[in-house]
Amino acid sequence: MPRKRNIVSEFLERFSYQATRATGTSVAFVVALLVIVVWAITGPLFHYSDTWQLVINTSTTIVTFLMVFLIQRAQNKDALAIHLKLNEIVAAMEGASNRLIDVEDLSEPEIDALRKYYKRLIELAREDDQLTMTHSIEEAASRHGHKYKKPPAKGTKEKTSNGKASKTG
């Protein structure tokens, strides 16, 4: 059952969405450019005073401050949606490593360990003629070993005839 949302929260989400969409258009750029041009043209009228400069400085500071939050919100939502889509693809693909589901929630040392894991996979794949034939280190080592009648690389797991993995080395 979906959680009932606060009216203010819904309004802010809609406003944020519309503001993000509107400010990312060519029209928004042209409007911003026109504001700067008008400001520059009015310089002589105000004798390039401190107040004249303060108007543009204050305005751009406020707009920048607000835009930082709008952009961050949009990026957070987009990143979450992309992560969910990728998680669905990884979960649905037969043979894909489930280690990558929610990888963004891992610590930096855990991500670094996975990076090293996949770096080893790349090294094994480069030894093969067809780079797309394997999907895990275990499978790559096993296929590579069988292909060239070599045992799998030390420290990897190989599937035995009963389907269970056994660690080598």
pLDDT digits 0-9 by tens, 58-84: 999 999 999 999 999 989 989 989 988
pLDDT 10s digits, 84-139: 888 888 888 877 777 777 888 888 998 888 888 888 877 877 777 665 555 566 66
Report the distance separating Cα 135 and Cα 125, nearest Å. 9
Residue where the block lists tokens 């969409």? 21
User: Could you give the C-alpha distances from 36 to 55, 57, 62, 107, 143, in angstroms and in order?
Assistant: 11, 11, 15, 45, 64
